Amino acid sequence: MDADLGLPVSVPSTALFTDHYELTMLQAALKAGTAGRRSVFEVFARRLPDGRRYGVVCGTGRVLDAVENFRFDEDVLRFLRSRGIVDDPTLEWLAGYRFGGDIWGYPEGEVYFPGSPVMRVEGTFGECVLLETVILSILNHDSAIAAAASRMASAAGDRPLIEMGARRTHELAAVAAARAAYIGGFASTSDLAAGFRYNIPTVGTSAHAFTLLHDSERDAFRAQVDSLGRGTTLLVDTYDVAEAVRTAVEVAGPELGAVRIDSGDLLLVAHRVRRQLDELGARNTKIIVTSDLDEYAIASLAAAPVDAYGVGTQLVTGSGHPTASMVYKLVARAESDDPGAPLVPVAKRSTGGKTSIGGRKWAARRLDESGVAEAEVVGTGPVPEALADRQLLVELVKGGEVVAREPLDVARERHRAARARLPLSATQLSRGEPVLPTEYVHGGSGN
């Protein structure tokens, strides 16, 4: 599968996907002579959304694209100049901006826990601070969607999930959501832009409007079958479900591919439709259910004769948690502009739970004797020998060059494998604490 086929949406630069104060901080640091200090920023979440047992790292590939396209072209510089956002020396610095540092991170699809350093950005203060907003924008959105998708995939078991949320979110967010859902375990999407850009399988047949267009339901079904073949999926809840199922089998025959139910008591209706299909000889006709599903509704249908689920609103809104609440914090910086100057840990200290832990960090996942994860270990300084081969961060960007692009299927399979190595309680939908504790090992600054 291709990693990115390119989406024809005019976004000439990602440089303005940032907050005003990133540029004013840069201007002040340039004037103070501190913008060139070697710095380490880390992305992490202080806590998981309420009730979640694990998080899912998602959006990494989109971050790499955003960093590559973070360029201050003439139009962008003209805008900044016309608004007086920064002074001329800063504009001159921005004109030549290219991120030349290093980025490490959890590979896309991996799971994470409170305090996990899911991404580490290293370079000068000036080049790193500018990337804060766009990195958080991508990771917070995509990780929230992927976490919801993962929970839904766990609830669905072997039954495939269809992403159908494009009409419930921003048109470009819909493409990112479909990508995140695929990594989290969904099988396909209804969004053609996502199919075009990321080569995700796309599906879809008809809506209620198609049935209402015709003089009768039979006419609508016949038109669809004549066009798309007997293997199509017919929507059977526009009028009377039982009558529609009977008509559908009469029109398409027992070779009818599937019927879709989009309303009502899905558990009850699915049982009735399965029994009716079997009585009509359509024993291989599948049943697809939609209608405001979330992971709880999917789990409640586990005993129902359902073959696939279509999910929209709850998926693209993170099933109640539309952000992963990740932050981007400076954790270490050099004592001077000298490239060889040692790093010193720095950390925010405040009340209200917004503290951070200083130092350049590594992360590893400790497994028990059965190969099941038992702790997320985060530390500074040397990595203990016992954890040397369990480290989680991988190199993503080296000297400003992307070194870790990969197809979506790799991230999708990585997530499946990572989730499988968690304790069984990770897939429980009941409220609970993170399934793994985060343990901190304090060493040196990690210079």
DSSP 68-79: HT----HHHHHH
The pLDDT tens digits of the residues spanning 373-404 come to 999 999 999 999 999 999 999 999 999 999 99
**Residue 338, exposed/middle/buried by CB under 10 A (0-12, 13-18, 19+)?**
exposed
User: Taking a C-beta distance cutoff of 8 angstroms, is the pair 161, 309 a contact?
Assistant: yes
382-387, Cβ contacts within 8 angstroms, sequence gap of 24 or more: 382/443, 382/444, 384/441
SS (H, E, C) 294-318: CHHHHHHCCCCCCCEEEECHHHHCH
The residue with greater pLDDT, 374 or 1, is: 374
Q: Largest Cα–Cα distance of the chain, in whole Å?
A: 81
- The chain-wide mean pLDDT, for the chain, equals 94
- Find the DSSP H helices in 84-202: 88-95, 125-129, 132-156, 171-184, 192-198
Query: Is 432's pLDDT higher than 90?
Result: no
The pLDDT tens digits of the residues spanning 104-156 come to 999 999 999 999 999 999 999 999 999 999 999 999 999 999 999 999 999 99
User: Taking a C-beta distance cutoff of 8 angstroms, is the pair 85, 27 a contact?
Assistant: no
Residue matched to tokens 């609440």: 325
The amino acid at residue 170 is H
**Residue 75, exposed/middle/buried by CB under 10 A (0-12, 13-18, 19+)?**
exposed
CA neighbours closer than 13 Å in the CB half-sphere of residue 83? 12
Cα distances from 376 to residues 363, 372, 373, 440, in angstroms, run 7, 12, 8, 9
Cα–Cα distance, 41 to 361 (Å, whole number): 10
Number of other residues whose CB lies within 10 A of the CB of residue 300: 14
Query: Is 445's pLDDT higher than 60?
Result: no
Cα–Cα distance, 138 to 304 (Å, whole number): 37
pLDDT of the residue at 444:
55
The pLDDT tens digits of the residues spanning 183-221 come to 999 999 999 999 999 999 999 999 999 999 999 999 999
pLDDT of the residue at 270:
98
Among 298-312, 329-343, 404-418, which is the least confidently predicted range? 329-343
The pLDDT tens digits of the residues spanning 333-378 come to 999 888 889 999 998 877 666 778 999 999 999 999 999 999 999 9
* Domains of the chain with CATH codes: 20-145+321-441 (3.20.140.10), 154-317 (3.20.20.70)
Task: Extract the tokens encoding 135.
Answer: 């990195």
Cα–Cα distance, 153 to 199 (Å, whole number): 20
Q: What is the pTM of this model?
A: 0.94
CA neighbours closer than 13 Å in the CB half-sphere of residue 266? 27
pLDDT confidence bin for 242, thresholds 50/70/90: very high
pLDDT of the residue at 447:
52
- Look at strands 394-398 and 102-105 and give their pairing: antiparallel
DSSP 3-state helix, strand, coil percentages of the chain (rounded to 5)? 40, 20, 45
| Residue in 394, 417, 389 with CA at minimum distance from that of residue 404 | 394
| Residue in 333, 303, 302, 249 with CA at minimum distance from that of residue 429 | 302
Cα–Cα distance, 126 to 7 (Å, whole number): 30
pLDDT of the residue at 238:
97
